[in-house]
Structure 1
Amino acid sequence: MTLAISKDAVQRALSGHAAIGLLASALLYLICLTGTVVVFYQEWQRIEQLDAPEMAAIAPDAVQRGVAAVLRAEKGKPATTHLYVHMPVDGLPRTTITTDHQAFHIDADGKIAVPEENAWSEFLLGAHYALNIPGLVGMTIVGIFGVMILALALSGVVAHPRIFRDAFRFRARDNHGVGLADWHNRLSVWTLPFSLAIALTGSMIGLGVVGTYGLAAVFYENDIEAAYAPIFGAEHGANASPAPPANVAAPLAWLAAQRPQVRPTYVILHDPGTRGQHIQIVAEHPRRLIYGETYEFGADGTYHGKVGLSDGHLGQQLAASTYNLHFGNYGGLPVKIIYFLLGLALTIVVATGTSIWLGKRERRGAHDQRLRSLWDGVLWGVPLALTLTFLARLIAGNAAPLTAIFWLLCALILLIAAVRPQPRPKRLLQWLFGASLLASPVAVLLG
């Protein structure tokens, strides 16, 4: 039996199918673009708050005073379960103490200076990490898109047998999209190792969380911390009875004396002010991809051992190396610049891939001005919305609802592009993006 379907219905179905493909491309473009910008996550924090005190290092006793001052500022709030001390590092030479409720920068003497205000940096990281979707859903989606990049990179190589032979071949004339295709293919080849590494580590980070939840459900009675324990170490048993503040200075002094080759990056005080409190220090190891080794101490500063991220089983070392390899946090500013340029190239590959696809549809007679207008809205509207969100943070302060502002701007731009596809919004969006970029440094200096 032949199903009779009208030509208009078929055309609407094809347009709907294309729109779904466009949505997937838009999210992939957003993930790549925010990942490129978030490479400078530490630098963005410094730009957001120029008046925060900075230092190359801080004495253990000053950290102790800072912890005590922040805990005093916690009075009247629910008990905090964790207190984090971000130690000064090359990329972010600031000491910041964070609890479950608040965060402060402290000066070199351990005095509270100013509250931490880095809402845009956190928004940007959240957009890349989970599309600003709370919980497990956002990270799962981003992890799936990491797999998609992996599949696109490998299938692109297989689909173009001469892709490596033609790695430096350009056809200057853009005859039916040939020039655009050449740029797409060349950048794909040049960035292939980077794309594979980023896609694989991104998939591991995003889908690894899902896998851990599954392991916890099957083997650990839904205890997530127990599922993570074989890799990142176990939590100690809690004892909520009151106790004097833990000695944070002693572990830092011990590490400086006994492990002078490592550099502390974080101090984590678990269950502060209770008998169950204990201390962990995360420290970078030179010439290693791992984000750090975790050293364990009691409340009195007694050394209890390390987790084993630096010399434990291969799975531990691999898990601890994934984050730095993905975000480019292992070689200072030169590596960040390289990651930024390669990330920008990957973003262009994603953008040109969809543009090539739209061009092929049009050459086959499937003209859809609305799809083309929507893609222009994605290509130039997303960076415009990011820049305007940054300006909103500088103008309205740290409390500005940045996530809502960004997604509402994106929705508004795409709505206008869909409702008024003629003329194409490309030139206007480019002009607005350029103007907002020029306004950003001025707003930083005036702020």
Structure 2
Amino acid sequence: MKGERLRRMIDLHAWLGMVSGLALFVAFFAGAINVFHHELHHWQEAYHGEPAAAPMGMDRLLEQVTDQYPDARKRLYLLPDAEDPGVMWFESAEDDWVTAHAKDFNTEGVREEVPRSALADFINELHFALGIPNPGWPINIGMTFMGLISVMYGVALFSGLLIHWPKIRKEFFALKHEGNMRRYWKNLHNVIGIISFPFHLIMSVTGAAMGMFTVVAVLLGALVFGPQLRGVISEETDVWPAVDSQGDTVTMPLMDDVLSAARHELPELTVDWLEIRGYGDAAGWIDVAGSVPGYLGHHAHVVLDPTLGPLRVIAPGQRSVNFASLSPVYSLHFGDYGGLLVKLLYFALGLLGSLLFVSGNILWCERRSDRTGPSRSSAFLLRLTLGVCAGVVIGIAFSFLASKLLPHTPLAGLVAVAERGLFALILVVLVAWSLRASPLRFSSQMLRIAPFCYLAIPLLHTGLEGGHAWLEADNRLVNLLLLAVAACLWVVRRQFRKRIRQAEPHPLWVGKVSADHPKHLTDTELENEAAVTD
């Protein structure tokens, strides 16, 4: 590659990486945890000991919910847990989804006011929309923004591949500091990028496809196809048309019979949830959704009418072109196609991806300061990167702590608010602090605190709920993952301290920087700053 073209590729890679780096750090760190979204839903539920009486079954739960909340009849989801089935429905008065479990009802059938954590949903929102609330517009602002970020991310990956391809073998074995911290981070950044390039390519393509789908559909509808496109999209993406009620009622079948009928149509189906449209309406239908193991696009649906007559089967080998293309996209993005081993691989690659974006932003700031001198803008971008990354990591840890602690206090009703509020507060405080503190001192203190935050979560869980924190499979898995995060942060801290002891830090890392010239530091000043890491 010619020198001028190579320089352009390096600049393109650096600018796109810097613009998208902070958003991608949030998405990857939250996404690594969100790989175990289903397990986290179980982990977040407070445990107060065994219930005095056995909870009601699926059929009684559906009757209770639909009698007490008539709006739930229009559309509800049933989670067929054998011990504690749950129902989720949209409550128009609250303008939100409401979840009830069988153990939320007492012997008289009245729902108890049980505080519910929303931690799993919050982590999911951080991953796909940076936690940006959706004001109810046709386009989800946060998700669309992440779709645009994914597009830039893909271009940065392509340009990075062109830059490093001629020397990929040499850089793969170049993880050493060679006299300064910048060289170490550069080599680490390159090695992580080379190892995980296929994973990042999958994330960029699938993230862009999901994030930009609504935008592309709206633009095509407005500029090319007209309003009829919306009907075509609904027809192709919905498992069955919306209920056209004629006012005729019907007795709903038993849910065990529904599951048996679905497995009769698709014997290998593993059921995850049931969607019921028009509960008690003769024109309604039931979608039994789940997976067929052994396929990349493993998602499957069996749609039944209230008399258990089959309406449609969507499964590997029985899909339209649309479903056949969408199912692998979701599977590849969420890593739910290969069991626990693939999920653990996605978890590890997600954490490595977070480190990739931090190191990329640091390299950009240092490289820019080497060209123009350590200016205020370079110092600001470095400090902002450190503040956002520390705020996200520690903020998520405090959301976990609030999720476990508050249900056992008089503030139990504020658990969902506290999970989001604590995250936002810590993020704002740490970003503000990072913009004023020495980057070296700030990083040292945050890396000292962060591992203990994640270590404290399983300890708190064990202290509050005893053996249930480890005897229940999903709880045990999530707690082990949190300990793994703590261990990874501890390793990063040790490497950070090692580099500071062995190599003089870049001027940007120490003290304040003037607008045009670096701050010249004495040996004593450098030793004082570096001593913080010890």
Amino acid of the residue matched to residue 82 of structure 1?
R
Amino acid of the residue matched to residue 33 of structure 1?
F
Give distance in 1, aligned partners of 2:40 and 2:80.
17
- State the match for 1:72 in structure 2: 67
- State the match for 1:44 in structure 2: 40
Amino acid of the residue matched to residue 178 of structure 1?
R
- State the match for 1:86 in structure 2: 79
Amino acid of the residue matched to residue 148 of structure 1?
M
Q: Indicate conservation of the 8 Å contact 2:269/2:291, yes or no.
A: yes
- State the match for 1:27 in structure 2: 23
Shift in alpha-carbon separation, 1:117–1:227, aligned structure 2, 3 A: same
Give distance in 1, aligned partners of 2:391 and 2:463.
26
Amino acid of the residue matched to residue 35 of structure 2?
V
- State the match for 2:89 in structure 1: 99
Give distance in 1, aligned partners of 2:440 and 2:329.
45
SS of structure 2 residue aligned to 1:158: helix
Shift in alpha-carbon separation, 1:214–1:64, aligned structure 2, 3 A: farther
Q: Indicate conservation of the 8 Å contact 1:201/1:322, yes or no.
A: yes
Match of 2:382 among 354, 372, 375: 372
Using the TM superposition, name which of 120-129 and 80-89 deviates more. Answer: 80-89
Give distance in 2, aligned partners of 1:349 and 1:417.
20
TM-score by length of 2: 0.70
Deviation, 1:86, is 2.2
Alignment of 1:33-432 (within 5 A): 33-49=29-45, 51=47, 62-74=57-69, 78-88=71-81, 95-101=85-91, 102-106=98-102, 117-133=116-132, 134=134, 135=137, 136-166=140-170, 168-176=172-180, 177-217=182-222, 219=225, 221=227, 224=230, 226-239=232-245, 241=247, 243-247=249-253, 249=255, 250-307=257-314, 310-364=317-371, 365-368=373-376, 369-397=379-407, 398-421=415-438, 424-432=441-449
Shift in alpha-carbon separation, 1:396–1:323, aligned structure 2, 3 A: same
SS of structure 2 residue aligned to 1:329: coil
* Alignment RMSD: 3.2
Q: Indicate conservation of the 8 Å contact 1:295/1:306, yes or no.
A: yes
Amino acid of the residue matched to residue 59 of structure 2?
Q
1:197-245 residue CA offsets vs partner (Å, 9 max, x unmatched): 1111111111112223345556463774641322443423421636244
Give distance in 2, aligned partners of 1:216 and 1:275.
34
Give distance in 2, aligned partners of 1:116 and 1:332.
31
Give distance in 1, aligned partners of 2:417 and 2:41.
16
Shift in alpha-carbon separation, 1:42–1:181, aligned structure 2, 3 A: same
Q: Indicate conservation of the 8 Å contact 2:399/2:418, yes or no.
A: no
Give distance in 2, aligned partners of 1:422 and 1:320.
44
SS of structure 1 residue aligned to 2:101: strand
Structure 1 segments of 4+ aligned residues over 6 angstroms from their partners: 18-21, 111-114
Q: Indicate conservation of the 8 Å contact 1:246/1:278, yes or no.
A: no
Amino acid of the residue matched to residue 67 of structure 1?
L
Shift in alpha-carbon separation, 1:273–1:255, aligned structure 2, 3 A: closer
Shift in alpha-carbon separation, 1:371–1:117, aligned structure 2, 3 A: same
More helix by share: 2
Give distance in 1, aligned partners of 2:202 and 2:419.
30
Q: Indicate conservation of the 8 Å contact 2:177/2:183, yes or no.
A: yes
Give distance in 2, aligned partners of 1:336 and 1:317.
22
Deviation, 1:62, is 4.5
Give distance in 1, aligned partners of 2:418 and 2:278.
31
Deviation, 1:246, is 2.5
Give distance in 1, aligned partners of 2:84 and 2:199.
30
Shift in alpha-carbon separation, 1:323–1:362, aligned structure 2, 3 A: same
Give distance in 1, aligned partners of 2:320 and 2:280.
34
Using the TM superposition, name which of 199-208 and 417-426 deviates more. Answer: 417-426
SS of structure 1 residue aligned to 2:90: coil
SS of structure 2 residue aligned to 1:296: strand
Shift in alpha-carbon separation, 1:431–1:421, aligned structure 2, 3 A: same
Unaligned 5+ segments in structure 2 are 1-13, 51-55, 92-97, 408-414, 465-534
1:229-264 residue CA offsets vs partner (Å, 9 max, x unmatched): 224434234216362442253331112334221112
User: How many residues are treated as equivalent by the alignment?
Assistant: 418
Shift in alpha-carbon separation, 1:423–1:153, aligned structure 2, 3 A: closer
Give distance in 2, aligned partners of 1:266 and 1:394.
26
